[in-house]
Amino acid sequence: MKINRVLLVYKKSSYQRHALDTKDQNFIRLLREKNIALWQSKEVHNIHMACLASIKKDLKKLKINCDLLLRYRLRPLLDYDLVITIGGDGTFLETSHHLKKNGLLMGINSTPRASVGYYCRTRTEEFLEKMELLLANKAKIQKLHRLEAHINEKPAGPLSLNDILFTNQNPADTCRYLLKIGGRHEEQKSSGVWFSPAPGSTAATLSAGGKILPIGSTQFQYVVRELYRQKGKVGSPSPFRLLKGVLSPKQQIQVISNMKHGALYFDGPHASLRLKRGDEVTIRQALEPLQAIW
């Protein structure tokens, strides 16, 4: 495989942002007191920076030029043969929002002992070998399917690799909505609904009661969180049926918000959209998968 243009997307460590950049006095005080809340913060920062330096050095050894971009300055990434993220899953997921169909992405877990890094399958010491395999067309490349959202029939938000959360803007308030799948519908109250494609099935959706799907599956699923089971007229539980399920790529699921302050969150807290009462959200499989070096 010919690799001409590479982009390195990296994050700033918590130590960098709070101790070095903004000089947050509370953060510095906790560091000085060796508070457990900042356990190994400086060490994690040093490991992260060493990873970034090592990756740049290896690319130079391979005679591959690269551009650098902070995670917080992401934009549509159209002209790169390979995008490499340095950090954890958050950096990988946010970067994925800016890649179009079949964009090639490699995640480097810069601090493995401080980060889960499910999508970041490469460590610092493995990078050079994986790049050599990629250049020789021998690297394992995994297709990752994503979800898309529409609000009132208009495309909304980024394509999501991990999950989409429909909920109340206030996490302590009830989420009220009508859930529709095919010809079936239910009016529900809960703390929200998770939607996830196969790659995200081992994350929050699983914790909420979902199931693990094969990584390359084109199926997706939904899980209702903490349903309020209101009693019926004769004291028996209401017959809720649309609580969780796995859908085919040809299906879609709709949620009509009955909240003044609803919201959709895409792959975590940093990408979100506000919803008003009566907004109709449609979730379905996107037609733009990613290619990830696995």
Q: What is the DSSP string of 116-182?
A: --SS--B-GGGHHHHHHHHHTT-S-EEEE--EEEEETTEEEEEEESS-EEEEESSTTSPEEEEEEET
pLDDT in tens, 201-244: 999 999 999 999 999 999 999 999 999 987 654 455 567 999 99
178 close to 196: Cβ distance less than 8 angstroms:
no
What is this structure's pTM? Answer: 0.93
Q: Convert the pLDDT of each residue in 9-56 to its tens digit.
A: 999 999 999 999 999 999 999 999 999 999 899 999 999 999 999 999
| 71, 10 Cβ separation under 8 angstroms | yes
Domain ranges of the chain: 6-139, 147-287
CATH class entry, domain 147-287: mainly beta
The answer regarding whether domain 6-139 maps to CATH 3.40.50.10330 reads yes
